[in-house]
Amino acid sequence: MHATDLKAIAEASRKETSPAEKDTAARMAALMHHMFLYDRGNQLRVIEETGLSMTQCKVLLELGGLGHAAEAWQVSDLAELFGVSVPSMSRGVDALVKAKLATRVEDPHDRRVRRVKITAKGKSLVATLVTVRLSGIESFVATLSAAQRRKLDAAVDALLDREDLVQTYEHLKGSDRS
């Protein structure tokens, strides 16, 4: 199922989600909506200013080590990860390569295979995107009372036993954003 198949997504949601899960999802959606717009939409504005599509931004963030952190990816693996067709992903990667944000490199184990790797320019853009995102979140967190922040910390801490979340947290915690 592709992310653009809204009817299938809505149908799956109706079948697989309990009322309690739907309520939690609505709470999370309200928070995420507020977070995206809290800093006057700076995160979204910076993404728009890159001229990249959302999928290209997600690929760049993945290549930049905020996801599965593979050294280099095959286009087909990126397509599967983000739920798009291989031709569509290939076109998106071509645009990243043309913008010098990524490069295609030879697979060290199979010279017939080309992989996609982030460039220094791409890493710089990822750092900018992450800085803007964290800055907005930090500004929001600064508006919370000590009690609200403790509750938020407890909720997030409860989720950090998930390897996918803890990896990103450790990466962000250790990043130099001065």
- Residues 91, 116: one domain? yes
Average pLDDT over residues 9-15: 66
- Residues 118, 75: one domain? yes
- Residues 107, 154: one domain? yes
pLDDT over 90, % of the chain:
53
Is the pTM for the entire model greater than 0.85? Answer: no
- Residues 103, 28: one domain? no
| Lookup: tokens for 96 | 């990243």
pLDDT band for position 5 (50/70/90)?
A: low
Print the domain residue range for 67.
41-174
pLDDT score of 69: 56
What CATH number does residue 105 fall under?
1.10.10.10
- Residues 10, 66: one domain? no
Instruction: Give the total number of structural domains in the chain.
Output: 2
- Residues 20, 34: one domain? yes
Among 48-52, 56-60, 70-74, 143-147, where is mean pLDDT lowest?
A: 70-74
Cα–Cα distance measured from residue 85 to residue 28, given in angstroms and rounded to the nearest whole number: 29
- Residues 95, 9: one domain? no
| Lookup: tokens for 58 | 């997600």
Cα–Cα distance measured from residue 60 to residue 93, given in angstroms and rounded to the nearest whole number: 9
Average pLDDT over residues 27-49: 87
1 vs 114, higher pLDDT:
114
Q: Is residue 149's pLDDT more than 60?
A: yes
93 vs 108, higher pLDDT:
93
| Lookup: tokens for 160 | 């950090």
